[in-house]
Chains A and B, each alone.
Chain A
Amino acid sequence: MKILFSILREMADLPNDPDAVALALNSLGLAVEEMDVVGVPVPGVVTARIMRMEKHPDAAKVTRCFVDAGDGEERHVWCGATNMQPGDVVPLATLGTTMPNGMEIARRGILGIDSEGMLCSEVELGLSDESSGLLILPSDSPLGVSPFDVLGIEHDVIFDLDLTRNRADCWGHLGVARDLAAHFGVPLRGPRIAAASSGSNKSLDVVIDAPEQCGSFTISYVSGVSVGASPRWVASRLAHLGMRSINNVVDASNLVMLETNQPNHAYDADVVSSFRVRLANAGETLTTLDGQTRTLHADDLLICNGSSNAGVGLAGVMGDLHSEITDKTTALAIESAWFSPDPIRYSAIRHGLRSEASIRFERGTDPNAWQQAAERFVTILRETCPDATLHAGATVVQTASCPVPVSVDVSVKRIESLLGVHIESERIVSILNSIGFVTTIKGDVVTSIVPTWRPDCSQDVDLIEEVARHFGYDNIGKTVPNSTVHGRLSNMQARRRILRRVLVGLGLDEAMPSPFLAAGDLATVGLPEDNVLRIANPLVAEESILRTSLRPGVLRSLKYNQSHRAPQIGLWEIGHVYPKSDQQLPDETEQLIIVVAGGNVETSLAQWNAICDALSVGTQLDQSRIPAGLHAGRSATLARGKKVVGVVGEVDPLVLDILGIEGRVSILEVDLSVILNEEPKPVQAKDINRYPSSDLDLAFVMDDSIPASTLQRALRQAAGKQLVSIDLFDVYRGKGVADGFRSLAFRLRVQGVEATLTESQLAELQKSCVAAASKAGASLRA
């Protein structure tokens, strides 16, 4: 929202220091995004008349202009513009002038002929962001004077405010001025009014058929109007505030809205002399001021000509093209209404038409601002129409939905206990009253009647915020609460951090791909797509599916790096997946994935081993269940009891081929909701067994179809409590071992528990190991 310093200073005696005002605005929560100084006169630029113009045969794009700057001397100036003609008065930047953009006007020549200055456009003078040629001044302008004086251009400052959603009132200068006046302790004058209603009573008929949507509808009658151009200052202020000057009536209407936050509309009172506010009929059409014919919805609110019942405006949004005032208009019907915010917002959204009016109505306007607005309207109009008269007897129709002032109580104690600072009750009252609240105090209770321009204030905390704002957040002080809570990571969070460090220690980089997938991404990596959730309004179709697996994302990142010459790369991700569930929310869990380009089944098993070691967990490998999308011969599920917690192995070579990834890729996926939430008990120490240990080296021949883990388990059981460790130290297939079999050599380190094992005990142990192995399907290798 753009706010002009000049208007603020008309409304209150603020310090003539834009920086101080900007600081105040920020401290009041009216954040200044940008401050723009405009209309600064440029010394050295004077008005000059073009006496004659010449073309040079060798310079087609420029014109030679001979100008008189009032001193009777003819100056020659090269000019690239085309919109001027002899007799025009234009701005001349004389030699030595420093332009607003920093350029200095020096004697520059073209084709050896010097230019004694530069003729200027609005852009070059810093008056506008765009222009299409020289600034042509009124032809009766005096020569040799500042064009800024000729145009009556005000030196001004534009504050661009980033208004928060609650401050509806600050969409008009008046709201901003009110806060600033309170801040600086100066009285608020408000807009200058020099046109109280007078003349004969003139009341036009108004009927409201939609009382819930329209809370108030007022019509003020203005006679003595003649439509023409606006005064320069009005056009200039509107331009600074981002609006185009149309004519004196429309400009007055717009300026009043910008000043008072009261959107209003001026009808030709001879064309529309009575009004009806009703809901539109579905399918009814209206051609709005922007020239578009709009088909209305049954929830759209329509302002109608009371006699024909035809629409003359989409309420709160935009007027009808055909009811616009014309050159012939001599009397106005000025509409100032209060519309319920939501219907206007929906109407604006439906028609894709967010107008200056709808922005204000959807935030909430003041139902009692209409009279001030009408008076200000006519005050401005009188500068061009001295006979304009605001007639007494304006029509005011209000319905039950019209907001009424609310009264809010808050105790002084509550203010202190919420803000943590003691503020005298007199100060509280004076703060609230300075911004238009009507406040009384009885004992500890402050009772405040909220002005109707502050629809955001309806309960005690709203008053507390107003007090805090004007007391000054910086004056409240800084304390630290006495916490009885101890800061710490939860068990799960601590274990997640251990996991991250292990992964980093394994040389793996963390990836963070998008959690959104395209249709087919899951199928590409061999995973089902039937349990996915979709985004109803995705940014792009390729990001419309919520992932149920981390696999597509990290494999894509792997491929990306591989194609950028980083073939040996290991990535991990810890992130959420969101498979559909039978509840309202998905079955969201945290997962871990590790992929290593060039890694194999050993890589992933070693990684899992390190993780299990670090987190004190263990799982069983189950190769009988082949995980989807993984290498059928080189992958297994990880199970804790009957619960599958992950998969380990290598990615299916077909998947890699489809993705265009070269070489093998090892993969480990683990459901962290299981393993991070475990709380392993502290390991209890065993005394060191100091009896000498012995190694039994036993090689067995076993069918390939039986997992080595079966044999290991049998040996472990057979060796019992004497077993210290068991290592598979050799696997052999080939000569001497039948096809379909392999030799597995284990080293069992055994140790007596109460005494050194004797030779015969060792022999006995070996015998039972061999027997157990045989039961498991393995025979001692000869």
Chain B
Amino acid sequence: MTSASTPEHGQLAQALADGIVQIREATTSDQLRTIVSALTGKKGPIASIKSSLGKVADIEARKELGQLVNDALAALGVATDGRSRELRAVEFSSQIESERVDMTEIAMSANVERRLGRMHLVTQAMERLEDVFIGLGFQIAEGPEVETDFYNFEALNMPPSHPARSMWDTLFVESDVEGSVVLRTHTSPVQIRVMQDWPPPIYAVMPGRVFRKETPDATHMPVFHQIEGLVIDRGITFADLAGTIESFTKAFFGPGFTSRLRPSYFPFTEPSAEFDIRRHDGTWIELGGCGMVHPHVLRAGGLDPNEWSGFAFGFGIDRMAKERHGINDIRDMYSDDVRFTEQFS
């Protein structure tokens, strides 16, 4: 290929060089647009060279020159894009500067500071407990808070005038038959309802509100919350009870915690136990009561004690929340005082 040097070659090189200088000298995006359209428009220098191509006789030279024109246009395009980006960066930077804000000021504005609501500490504790038990294979049962004497006492192996009834300070609801309706003193009546309504095997926890005739103080409320667990299956043993309490302890409190059972007495379980949780530092927390479901209770729930056995356990939820958050006075938890509530995200 011969490298011919025609006058067009010189004009093209000059036009390209001039064009690049002009592009670089543009000071605004608008000016750049004007320059570019003048350079590459129909009346621009490149266009005039292009239109004179027909006069070049040598086919090879004409071809080469055509390619050079295209290259020049591409080079101008690259230069334009580069300069355009530079100019826009400058232009936006002034916009950005003019829009500068104090983020800390905005962070303090009411709209931004608006916090999420809070669930009550008892609800938070209840959900955490439910989740742990769901993980251990339990379902969740609920029952009425106003109960009959039958479910609250009689079916739980406490026939009328049973002395153990005095273990609970009961609030009675006015009814046609005096003493036949109570505010449930524990979540245990739900055990009976579940036994009656759910076909065994049963693996259930029953959280809920309970009532006692007790004057409120820093550690007691007349209205508080318990969670009850009930397992009914074939061949359920006391060792299963101890193991389930242990699994719960580790799942809820953490792997470093252990549990123990101590003999105790409840009319609705036998053998009965208290269960304690051992903290990392070796101290014990008395948590709740448990035991093997008493045969009388199984029968009241419509189950044959020769076929089914089971265990039950129960403990207070409020105390878990109190311990977890280091609350000194449990009444604060029930004050609905937003100054107290908002602490607990």
Contacts and interface: CB of A to CB of B under 8 A. Distances in A.
B181 to A, nearest CB: 6
Contact of A418 (B119, B120, B238, B243): B238
Contacts of B148: 584-585
Contact of A507 (B115, B138, B213, B243): B115
A476 interface: yes
Given A165-B164, A585-B148, A510 B201 contact: no
B127 A497 contact: yes
B262 A27 contact: yes
A631 interface: no
Contact of B292 (A27, A461, A535, A572): A461
A729 to B, nearest CB: 24
B145 A505 contact: no
B174 interface: yes
Contact of B240 (A479, A515, A543, A557): A479
B202 A476 contact: no
The interface centre, meaning the residue of A473, A480, A546 with most chain B CB atoms within 10 A of its CB, is A473
Contacts of B164: 165
Nearest to B200: A485
B273 interface: yes
A293 interface: no
B116 A588 contact: no
Contact of B146 (A31, A469, A538, A586): A586
A126 B121 CA distance: 45
A18 interface: no
Contact of B239 (A26, A421, A535): A421
A578 interface: yes
A476 B263 CA distance: 12
A343 B334 CA distance: 41
B117 A480 contact: no
B174 A500 contact: no
Interface in B167-190: 167, 171-176, 178-181, 183
A533 interface: yes
Contact of A533 (B173, B203, B336): B173
Contacts of B338: 509, 561, 566, 569
Nearest to A515: B223
A225 interface: no
B242 A29 contact: no
A376 to B, nearest CB: 28
Interface stretch (B21-29, B58-66, B229-237): B229-237
Interface string A443-473: 0000000000000000101101100110001
Nearest to A364: B163
B263 A473 contact: yes
B271 A461 contact: yes
Contacts of A57: none
Given A480-B247, A546-B146, A537 B171 contact: yes
Interface string A570-596: 111001101000001110100000000
B273 A473 contact: yes
A465 B118 contact: no
A474 B260 CA distance: 7
Contacts of A31: 262, 264, 274
B174 A539 contact: no
B140 A473 contact: no
Interface residues of B, number: 85
A504 B262 contact: no
A328 interface: no
Contacts of B255: none
Interface stretch (B33-41, B45-53, B128-136): B128-136
Contacts of B215: 539
A486 interface: yes
A134 B298 CA distance: 62
Interface in B125-167: 127, 130, 133-140, 144-148, 161, 163-164, 167
Contact of A488 (B127, B134, B175, B294): B134
A653 interface: no
The interface centre, meaning the residue of A31, A166, A418, A588 with most chain B CB atoms within 10 A of its CB, is A418
Contact of A417 (B260, B271, B309): B309
B32 interface: no
Contacts of B222: 516, 539, 543
Nearest to B145: A576
A417 B147 CA distance: 34
Contact of B263 (A27, A480, A484, A510): A27
B237 A588 contact: no
Contacts of B144: 576, 585, 588
A648 B242 CA distance: 50
B117 A534 contact: no
B48 to A, nearest CB: 45
The interface centre, meaning the residue of A477, A485, A539 with most chain B CB atoms within 10 A of its CB, is A485
A164 B172 contact: no
A61 interface: no
Given A509-B338, A534-B174, A484 B201 contact: yes
The interface centre, meaning the residue of B148, B173, B335 with most chain A CB atoms within 10 A of its CB, is B173
Contacts of B136: 487
A30 B202 CA distance: 32
A485 B127 contact: no
A500 B123 contact: yes
B313 to A, nearest CB: 13
B339 interface: yes
Contacts of A507: 114-117
Given A478-B246, A504-B116, A510-B117, A578 B337 contact: no
A166 B295 contact: no
Contacts of B161: 342
Contacts of A341: 163
B192 interface: no
B221 to A, nearest CB: 9
B16 to A, nearest CB: 46
B169 to A, nearest CB: 9
Contacts of A510: 117-120, 123, 341
Contacts of A508: 117
B233 to A, nearest CB: 6
A571 B336 contact: yes
Contacts of B270: 461-462, 464-465
A29 B174 CA distance: 38
B277 interface: no
A512 B336 contact: yes
A514 interface: yes
A554 B260 CA distance: 41
B31 to A, nearest CB: 39
Given A483-B203, A504-B119, A510-B117, A419 B134 contact: no
B146 A487 contact: no
A201 to B, nearest CB: 39
Nearest to A514: B223
A469 B271 contact: yes
B245 to A, nearest CB: 8
B340 to A, nearest CB: 10
A503 interface: yes
B233 A483 contact: yes
A584 B152 CA distance: 14
A26 B262 contact: yes
B147 to A, nearest CB: 7
A478 B127 contact: no
Contacts of A539: 171, 213-215, 222
Interface of B: 114-120, 122-123, 127, 130, 133-140, 144-148, 161, 163-164, 167, 171-176, 178-181, 183, 201-203, 209, 213-215, 222-223, 231, 233, 235-240, 242-244, 246-247, 260-265, 267, 270-274, 292, 294-295, 309, 334-339, 341-342
7 contacts: A420-B238, A481-B244, A509-B117, A535-B174, A561-B336, A564-B339, A585-B144
Given A469-B263, A533-B173, 10 more contacts: A418-B309, A419-B238, A420-B238, A421-B239, A461-B292, A465-B272, A503-B117, A561-B336, A569-B338, A588-B146
Q: Which 6 A-B pairs have the closest CB atoms?
A: A420-B237, A29-B263, A420-B239, A164-B265, A557-B336, A478-B243
